[in-house]
Structure formats: C-alpha cells, structure tokens
Amino acid sequence: EMVVDDTILHNLETEKCERFLGYNEKEHPIVCQLGGSDPTKLAAAAEVVQRYGYDEVNLNVGCPSCRVACKGEFGCSLMKRPEVVRDAIHAMSRAVQIPVTVKCRLGVDDLDNQEYTRKFVTTVKQGGCKHFIIH
C-alpha cells in the first residue's frame, strides 16, 4: 500500500503512525511506498520510514488511479514532471541511508513512448535514483 507523505507527517504520534507504518519483523526485507510531490515533505516522511526500520523507500510515480493521480500531484501524473521527481528523489536520498527507488510506468497519456521514458529515467537518475521499477 502507498502512504501519502502528509498522512505520515500529520500522524507522528506512535499509536497513530503505527497504523500506517507498522509491520511484522518477519516481513523483512520490506519497502515503504510513498506518495507525494513536495521534496521537503517526502524527505521528512522518508526519515520517519527509515526510523521505523524499513529497508527501502519507494516513490510512487506509477499509480493511474484517479484517487491518486487526480487528487494532488502524485502517482502517474508525476511522470509529466520529471524534474519534480528528480528533486524529490534528491531530497529523500540526502535525508536517509536506505535506498530510495522509483516506481513508474512506461509512459503516461501522450508521453507514452520509449524516447520519453528514457528522458524521464535519465532526469530522475540525476537525483540519485539507482533502481526503477517500471510497469
């Protein structure tokens, strides 16, 4: 499940945060997928994720659901803004020691081609992402 950065940042009390980030130790290795587009908020949320003991934090740039992509600037709508994703990845990578990865699509809307996907990955890679999950 994806957790929106604001959900974490507005629920920092242990009992509230546990509801969103809690897991069983047997689940390792475990990845937390974040949604959001503000580099500062994503970096702060990534720090919380790291404190909870996650092995990796992943930025969702692939969800096409209108509940995600149409309500705020996250999910696949971010595919259209590679510089924003690059900056978010850079901020998150500087804030945590665990790997920061990106889940994205092969393209989105009229930007659904190999050339655009290559440009997107090249741009985001500049922010420090070394692992992309493409679907």
Cα–Cα distance for residue pair 10/3, rounded to 1 Å: 12
For 132, the 3-state DSSP assignment is: strand
Cα–Cα distance for residue pair 131/134, rounded to 1 Å: 10
Please count the CA atoms within 13 angstroms of the CA of 3 that sit on its side-chain side.
Answer: 24
* Residue 32 annotated among the catalytic residues of the structure: no
Cα–Cα distance for residue pair 92/65, rounded to 1 Å: 24
Give 43-89 as a DSSP string.
HHHHHHHHHTT-SEEEEEE----HHHHTSSS-GGGGGG-HHHHHHHH
Catalytic residue among 17, 32, 63, 76: 63
Known catalytic residues are 63
